Chains A and B, each alone.
Chain A
Amino acid sequence: MSHASTQSRRTPDSHTFPTRPYDLVKEFLVALTVVAVLTVVLAAVFSSPDDKAISLQ
Chain B
Amino acid sequence: MSAHVHDSQPGPVDRSLTARLRSRIERTVPPGQALPDRQPAYVSSWIYVFGVASLAAFIVVLVSGGILALGGSAWWHRSGLGHFVNSLHLWSVEIFFAVMVIHLWGKFWMAAWRGGRSWTWISGVLLFLASIGTAFTGYLSQTNFDSQWISTQAKDGLNSVGIGAWFNVLNTAQMLLWHVALLPAVVGIIIVIHVVLVRRHGVVPPIDSEEEQS
Number of chain A interface residues as a range: 35 or more
The reply to whether A43 and B90 form a contact with Cβ atoms under 8 Å apart is yes
Stretch at the interface among B54-62, B121-129, B158-166, B178-186: B54-62
A32/B41 contact (C-beta < 8 A), A9-B211, A50-B83 known: no
**Does B71 touch A at the CB level, under 8 Å?**
no
Chain A residues with CB under 8 Å of B87's CB are 42-44, 46-48
The reply to whether B143 and A17 form a contact with Cβ atoms under 8 Å apart is no
Chain B residues with CB under 8 Å of A22's CB are 36-39, 43
- Choose from B35, B36, B213 the contact partner of A9 (Cβ within 8 Å): B213
Chain B residues with CB under 8 Å of A27's CB are 49, 52
**Does B115 touch A at the CB level, under 8 Å?**
yes
- Choose from A31, A39, A40, A50 the contact partner of B144 (Cβ within 8 Å): A50
The reply to whether B115 and A53 form a contact with Cβ atoms under 8 Å apart is no
- Choose from A15, A19, A35, A48 the contact partner of B41 (Cβ within 8 Å): A19
The reply to whether B209 and A12 form a contact with Cβ atoms under 8 Å apart is yes
Chain A residues with CB under 8 Å of B55's CB are 28, 31
Interchain CA distance A8-B64 in the complex, whole Å: 49
The reply to whether A13 and B115 form a contact with Cβ atoms under 8 Å apart is yes
**Does B28 touch A at the CB level, under 8 Å?**
no
Chain B residues with CB under 8 Å of A35's CB are 53, 56-57, 60, 92, 95, 99
**Does B94 touch A at the CB level, under 8 Å?**
yes
Chain B residues with CB under 8 Å of A38's CB are 91, 95
Closest approach, in angstroms, between the C-beta of B69 and any C-beta of chain A?
A: 16
**Does A56 touch B at the CB level, under 8 Å?**
no
- Choose from A12, A17, A39 the contact partner of B88 (Cβ within 8 Å): A39
Identify the closest chain A residue to B202 (Cβ): A14
The reply to whether B60 and A32 form a contact with Cβ atoms under 8 Å apart is yes
Name the 10 nearest CB pairs between A and B, nearest first: A14-B202, A11-B115, A43-B87, A22-B39, A31-B56, A51-B145, A17-B40, A19-B38, A42-B91, A32-B56
Beyond the given A39-B92, A53-B145, please list 9 additional residue pairs across the A-B interface where CB-CB is below 8 A: A18-B41, A20-B44, A21-B38, A31-B52, A31-B53, A35-B53, A39-B91, A43-B91, A44-B87
